[in-house]
Amino acid sequence: MKATGIVRRIDDLGRVVIPKEIRRVLRIREGDPLEIYTNNNGEVILKKYSPINELSRYAAEYAETASTILGSTVVVSDTDQVIAVSGGLKKELLDKKVDYELDKIIQSKNKYLNDKKIIVPIISQGDAIGSITIIPKDSNRILGEAELKAAEIGAGFLAKQMDN
């Protein structure tokens, strides 16, 4: 992404507006949490906060276990990028940005399933914070109830970890 510089003034309540163009590019929505911190150069840094990133170890262990048992690729993402993958597509998907289609499914908070892909949003305290996606290893294989339940269990487990 190209660096962008825009000057904004702080109002009397200490607020600053993040320009619409920057919010759009970074996919920052109203109500999204931001981390605010400083570095050694005196810069104030705003970073989109990913609560599920704190659970990356659990996400990786879930993906590994589910992938081994199901024989499928298992992907865990937050609302911006893939944070854990296990299975045949690991190299292609790890750290990949969430595309428009997946973002739409996550924000809808509804499961998506067809013969070739299952997506279950991870919902914590009413907020969509990510998703579990299961993709079959063999393109001729059809996903079923077992894969759906595994994705629901993973999404529920990660959501519970966020609540604790």
Q: Which of 66, 52, 87 is nearest to 146 (CA)?
A: 66
Token pair belonging to 56? 């990356």
Q: Which of 40, 39, 37, 32 is nearest to 128 (CA)?
A: 32
Task: Centre a 10 Å sphere on the Cβ of residue 130 and count the other Cβ atoms it contains.
Answer: 31
Beta-bridge partner residues of 74: 86, 134
pLDDT for 21 equals 85
Residue 77 near residue 155, CB atoms below 8 Å: no
* One-letter identity of residue 43: E
- As averages over each run of 10 residues, the pLDDT of the chain (164 residues) reads 72 89 82 85 82 83 95 92 89 85 94 92 91 90 91 95 80
pLDDT for 1 equals 47
Give Rg (Cα) of the chain: 18
This prediction's pTM? 0.76
